[in-house]
Structure 1
């Protein structure tokens, strides 16, 4: 009779059958609870006897291990017809294993963070916007590693933790799970700045100058990032800062009128300033028009008449004073606006958040304000971006997103057409702005002229939030964002059911298991939402305390967030559609129309499932084309270990980003746009289409603009154009650098590397030496689109 058992650490201890009975009974209780019945302890004892009989027969004269005993329990449960109890026992076993292994896994991770350089550790390069070699970057990774292990062993349901560790799903930002933070938010700076706001460390008055507006916009982004685990965006930057331009113009107008009066008339001391103020105030009162950069003719006529009357001068002299005032006020306002935009960009690339380990993840949407003030913001933001940072470097943040809209900026007769042309020029040099297309059918349905909060905006990473089943009356972008998202490993399902594994694809089996995985993720998102709902306003002093999130201004400091976060999105993502199709039918959607049809069927299936779920719960369940940075390599490593190297599927170091045609596949830019555009319709939580160009697009702006227009015509929602952005830090040359710098003729053998900036997801992340191994492999395999093959 077996009376000893071998533990995992090699120790030999007494064998206690009652522990088996207790484990079986606990698993039976879990199964019975789901079926609303009671578990039977006597049955658990009988099953234990069967287990003992099996062990005594199989391990004569041996001491079985813990794993062998557990295997015997599972075998007896299945043979005795207790499948549900067996499933719960397996989960219990996995949970105990995970809890036990988490300590050693954590220690291994901390060892890698502590002892290895970032060039040797993917862990330290998991997020390319964190410098893993710095003290604060290392400390942030320590916290992340500990938090992830705690969440997996104490916060997540066992089946969710198992699916994540096993590589069936990926819970994004798992290290923030227990904090209950949300992912991202669109900040309404018009509402925030009115009356001033607090950062938690002091109150800031309402800004009165464009320089202050720009500075506070950067501070708002920085402060908000400390309350969230994702990015921050300003959805209509031009509208939001236009008021700052107006205030600056008014102040300078008064000052310049006083100067003109002093020049053309004879006054002393403060008298010109006083007279200028009186004339401006009375002109607004009589004309019933405000003083703006537009300078309505009715206002101008009244001002000139008052100048002539109050100063006792001729109308001709009054006109000279007015022209002097307007000319220099325009010039100074424009100059100050440029300086403000330059400072804004510099701030977002130098100010730190999250314990000093990161610059804020920031996105700026703009381009549709047709007022002179709004246009002044957009133009100078683009020009400052074009100029670059202090030494001519390309700015990493903010991600600029130019909103393209017919009737506003797309056609030559549109009022902001010049800004569209300028945005193409700047993007061709600096990679930004990206382009969002308000006329795409899924964006246009929300658009209401004159209400910028209905203009669909994107986070730099691609996240999109607009529809609102929770509150149909407020389908707007401001004060909302993604709550959390989790991605499904599509290629794994395809490997299990596709021809790559069995010779003949079981498409029905694929969809059946996909349906199960979506249900699993929905349950996991709901569980995470419970944690988020339990948090209080005081846990997020800026995001909630300053009314950034919609309806948070109606709550008290100790109020929970149970209702208001329902305005956000709960999102399911996917990765590797190309590899999925290769595993299922042997070709991806860039190679076969049949594959394209199946790809659309898969993505539509996911969207339809989430739409149904959204209506069921009145929560904004949505589908995102996952921006895969660290994830692209994680899934592949796990699957290659399990299934081996499968050509076209697991034979690379990464899975293809979302629904994209593989980067290594050769086709024209136009063909790529046409293939990817239909997927934008279904991915309502976010999407992006990239075009990868060779050469220097600044030399062919016509071709660059052709690509942007092709995206719009195809129905793309959000797109960008990638191209090499290289810089020699020695001579300052910006452009395309191969092996030799065109500026000074030196090579990297001189000891100083060239800076090579590339885009990997929606966020641009500096030089390529900060990329993890999977993204480095992907970048190296990218096939460039030649300008002649657009």
Structure 2
């Protein structure tokens, strides 16, 4: 007789007929429920006896394991004519197995997070913006691990969870899925600041000088970050903060007129109020405003008023005006620099999400040609160039200079000096990156004088501009969610790796299946997001940051307004996909390039079709693969073994990029990658790798930026080594010895800081990267 059974963990326990009976009864109950009948417990007991009889015959003198018992149940149900109950039992068994595996994965993850150091645990370095060794970083990772497993078991469809676990797709930010958060947002700070706003712990009045504008811009980014799982972008930072410069100048101009008048007249303190009223009266009468570029009529009117009101000669009045302007301009410029310096320092020190991260932040600028906007741009760049307190390169915000013919690209353009300065700063600090408003897919939205139509990129490369549901502008919108397809796997399944000839029809058929699966999954996630209410996102929605949210009440759901965001399909490893399919990647042959373009164009067309079908903004992104590049490769290496040029490294190549190890010139790389920017309307980026210090050859650096613009690239950046000796503070390229103080790397246990870029938004010391990205950095060749 069967008395014992072996559990999956090896423990031997008493065999229980009741457990077998109950399992059969539950399966029978499911069938009876569908057929409108009542389940029969006595029948379940009788079938359990049959199962025990089978086990007794099979395991004479042996102890069966749990799987043996379950197999006996299935066999008995089928042989006794209970096929439907057998099917229900198999599904129940699979579901129990899935839950059990989920618990095992969860416990394994928590064990790694708890007991391993970040240096030896890739899970603690999935996000280089989180310090996995800190208490709050560890707590955030606990929550992430639990939430992911909960979503897979209880929230999303099984087919989506299975595809994710198998590595056919990757659902990004799954730990936030059940919370219904949106990914990112492009914040119009000028709209937010008008009249003031609340962070939930008190109301902040409308700022009245540039220092306050800079401080509140950082607070707005931090506050919005707490409502979203992605990043925050200010799409036209120069326009947004220019009003703060103007307010500062007007106040200082008034104060300096008062100071100058004190030289010529014995004035009382109350006189400054009269001067304020005088300036206000002049502005209203002329319908002109005091600014850094003061109108000639306004100056003449003020001169006449000073002469008549304070008994001054014309020469004295002019002296006062010149003194007031010169001092006000100088002080405004100084305060603007301080404001930009504080803004950068704040975003590298303030924390969001329970203190575990600095906010993911990006700012776009460079096209405001007003004197106030230009002052913002200039001082932002100078502050970035100086670095943080000890000269460190700032990691955030990601600074993006918008290049536009007629605005800043050529010597006759009003902001040409800012373009030159941006190249100088980028050659030293890795930032700014460069976006190109003249790229045809960006230019078609551009309307002169309307910065909300200028294409905006988030540091990670996300782009949100086209809109089938409303205005095609950048402000108050963002990505809702995105999911990435494992392109190399489809290439392996239908390529020359496994066959004598590649099967393109089979490839596109499977790609089509995966795209449809992702569209279904994105809609499923959209429904969760759409059911959320304004009160679930008190800053993003409650303060009117997201488009249309200012028209909703606290308990309204978000369906109608989040439609302005994007639902996005991503892809990774085009190079490895092509290699698996035809034996060459797009950096190696024209044939591979043509096929690569065909594949990416096909994905874009499918997303356009989905937009038309569902009236939602489906889009295609060149996935920024920080943590994903290694995950897909590990899974595929286990499934297919090591395939040369495909699974023989620790990572898949980022999106449509030419592999980092492929020898190619900078201009060839730009030429090959530029066509893909047009199809990836949800975001893209191209990098060039330079050796040495590009500050020594700014002409060459600028020529690369111009080549990107001419080739139709939408968003690009130039990578180069940025090293720092934390002892003497030297910044530059450091080999094994600091050129400033002669100290060796690792001397006295102190190593040089080696700052590198791993995606459009993430720059940091290499020790914070996960294993796959470390390997990718190691393999990078320089583009001549």
User: Which residue number in structure 2 is paired with residue 522 of structure 1?
Assistant: 519
Q: How many angstroms apart in 2 are the aligned matches of 1:582 and 1:78?
A: 47
Are 1:532 and 2:534 counterparts? Answer: no
Distance 1:84 1:233 in 2: 55
User: How many Å apart are 1:86 and its aligned residue?
Assistant: 11
Q: CA deviation at 1:296?
A: 1.1
Separation in structure 1 between the aligned mates of residue 597 and residue 70 of structure 2, nearest angstrom: 43
Superposed CA deviations along residues 690-724 of structure 1, whole A, max 9, x for unmatched, are: 11110100000010010001111111111000000
Is the 8 Å Cα contact of residues 55 and 72 (structure 2) preserved in structure 1?
no
1:492-543 Cα shifts (integer Å, max 9, x gaps):
1111111112232121111111111111111111111111112111111101
2:653 equivalent in structure 1: 656
Q: What secondary structure sits across from 1:661 in the alignment? A: coil
Q: CA deviation at 1:267?
A: 1.8
Extract unaligned runs of 5+ from structure 2.
Answer: none
1:494 corresponds in structure 2 to 491
Alpha-carbon distance in 2 for matches of 1:704, 1:523: 44
Distance 1:564 1:93, change over 3 A: farther
Task: Identify if the C-alpha distance between structure 1 residues 591 and 603 changes in structure 2 by more than 3 Å, giving closer, same or farther.
Answer: same
Matched, 1:598 2:595: yes
Residues 556-705 of structure 1 mapped to structure 2, 5 A cutoff: 556-705=553-702
Identify which of 536, 550, 553 aligns with 1:553: 550
1:717 to 700, 714, 717: 714
Shift of 1:312: 2.0
Q: Structure 2 CA distance, aligned partners of 1:601 and 1:83? A: 47
Q: How does 1:41-190 map to 2 (within 5 A)?
A: 67=67, 94-190=94-190
Deviations 1:61-92 (A, max 9, x none): 6876555677899999999xx99999999876
Q: Which moved more, 1:433-442 or 1:277-286?
A: 277-286
Q: Which residue number in structure 2 is paired with residue 430 of structure 1?
A: 429
Find the aligned partners of 2:126 and 2:781 in 1 and give their Cα distance: 24
Given that 1:262 and 1:272 are in contact with CA atoms closer than 8 Å, whether structure 2 keeps it comes out as no
Query: TM-score scaled by structure 2?
Result: 0.93
Shift of 1:38: 11
CA distances 1:75-122 after superposition (whole Å, capped 9, x unpaired): 99999xx99999999876554322112222212211111111110111
Counterpart in 2 of 1:730?
Answer: 727
Q: Distance in 1 between matches of 2:649 and 2:31?
A: 40
Q: Which residue of 1 aligns with 2:296?
A: 297
Q: Using a 3 Å threshold, how does the CA distance of structure 1 residues 384 and 72 change in structure 2: closer, same or farther?
A: farther
State the SS of the aligned residue for 2:489: helix
SS at the partner of 2:563? helix
SS in 2 for 1:573: strand
The residue that corresponds to 2:395 in the other structure is: 396
- CA gap of 1:442–1:109, structure 2 versus 1, over 3 A, is same
- The two structures have a TM-score, normalised by structure 1, of 0.92
Q: Report the Cα distance in structure 2 between the residues aligned to 1:548 and 1:491, rounded to whole angstroms.
A: 39
Between the aligned partners of 1:331 and 1:556, the Cα distance in structure 2 is: 46
For 2:765, the equivalent position in structure 1 comes to: 767
Once residues 398 and 698 of structure 1 are traced to their aligned partners in structure 2, the CA distance between those partners, rounded to angstroms, is 21
My pick for the range that moved more, 772-781 or 281-290, is 281-290
Give the direction of change, closer, same or farther, for the CA distance of 1:72–1:186 in structure 2 (3 Å limit).
farther
Compared CA separation, residues 90 and 677, structure 1 to 2 (3 A): farther
Whole-angstrom CA distance in 1 between matches of 2:391 and 2:209:
27
Counterpart Cα distance in 1 of 2:57 and 2:256 = 99
User: Whole-Å Cα distance in 1 between the matches of residues 529 and 372 of structure 2?
Assistant: 40
The CA distance in 2 between the partners of 1:757 and 1:257, in whole Å, is: 48
Encode CA deviations 1:601-628: one digit per residue, 9 max, x unaligned. Answer: 1111111111101110000111110000
Structure 1 residues 672 and 330, CA gap change in structure 2 (3 angstroms): same
Partner of 1:286: 285
Report deviation, 1:180. 0.9
Superposed counterparts of 1:386-465, under 5 Å: 386-465=385-464
State whether residues 51 and 73 of structure 2, in contact with CA within 8 Å, keep that contact through their aligned partners in structure 1: no
Say which SS state the counterpart of residue 154 (structure 1) adopts: helix
In 2, the alpha carbon distance for the partners of 1:729 and 1:83 equals 71
Equivalences for residues 345-356 of structure 1 within 5 A: 345-356=344-355
Superposed, 1:205-216 pairs within 5 Å as: 205-216=205-216
Deviation at 1:8, TM superposition (A): 3.1
Query: Secondary structure of 1:502's partner?
Result: coil
- CA shift at 1:562, angstroms? 1.8
Report the CA distance shift for 1:761/1:254 in structure 2 as closer, same or farther (over 3 A).
same
Offset at 1:729? Answer: 0.6
Which contiguous aligned blocks of 4+ residues in structure 1 show a shift greater than 4 angstroms? 1-7, 9-29, 37-42, 55-79, 82-94
Please tell me whether the aligned partners of residues 292 and 372 of structure 2 are also in contact (alpha carbons under 8 angstroms).
yes
Aligned residue for 2:760, secondary structure, equals coil
Deviation of residue 402 (structure 1)? 0.6
**Aligned partners of 1:260 and 1:321 also within 8 Å:** yes
Q: Deviations along 1:31-82, whole A, 9 cap, x unmatched? A: xx9xxx999999x99xx99x999x9999686876555677899999999xx9
Residue of structure 2 equivalent to 1:326: 325
Q: Check the 8 A contact 1:28/1:88 in 2, yes or no.
A: no
The secondary structure found in structure 1 opposite 2:170 is strand
Distance apart, 1:559 and its partner CA:
1.2
2:232 paired residue number = 232
1:618–1:422: structure 2 CA closer, same or farther, 3 Å change rule?
A: same
- List per-residue Cα deviations over 1:547-599 (Å, max 9, x = no partner): 11111111111111122111111111111111101111111110111111111
When residues 267 and 77 of structure 1 are mapped into structure 2, their CA distance, relative to the original with a 3 A threshold, is farther
SS at match of 2:132: coil
Partner residue in 1 for 2:217: 217
Q: Is the 8 A contact 2:467 2:564 kept in 1?
A: yes
RMSD over equivalenced CA pairs, Å: 3.0
Q: Deviations over 1:9-44 (max 9, x none)?
A: 455554958956965996999xxx9xxx999999x9
Distance between the aligned counterparts of 1:76 and 1:442, measured in 2?
64
How far apart in 1 are the matches of 2:155 and 2:557?
19
Task: Sort the Cα spacing of 1:241 and 1:91 in 2 relative to 1 into closer, same or farther, 3 A.
Answer: farther
**Equivalent pair of 2:51/2:76 in contact (CA under 8 Å):** no
**2:193 maps to 1:197:** no
Equivalent-residue separation in structure 2 for 1:78 and 1:635 (angstroms): 39
Distance 1:69 1:408, change over 3 A: farther
Is 1:269 matched with 2:265?
Answer: no
Contact 1:173–1:229 under 8 Å retained in 2: yes
Aligned pair in 2 of structure 1 residues 733, 39: CA closer, same or farther (>3 Å)? farther
Point out where structure 1 has 5 or more consecutive residues left out of the alignment. none
- Which stretch of structure 1 is more off in the superposition, 88-97 or 275-284? 88-97
Deviations 1:442-469 (A, max 9, x none): 1111111111111110110000001111
Q: Taking structure 1 as reference, are residues 319 and 522 closer, same or farther at Cα in structure 2, changes over 3 Å only?
A: same
Are the structure 2 counterparts of residues 274 and 52 from structure 1 closer, same or farther at C-alpha, using a change threshold of 3 Å?
closer
Secondary structure of 2:659's counterpart equals coil
Cα distance in 2 for residues equivalent to 1:544 and 1:288:
36
**Contact 1:95/1:158 (8 A) holds in 2:** no
SS at match of 1:657: coil
- 2:629 counterpart SS class: helix
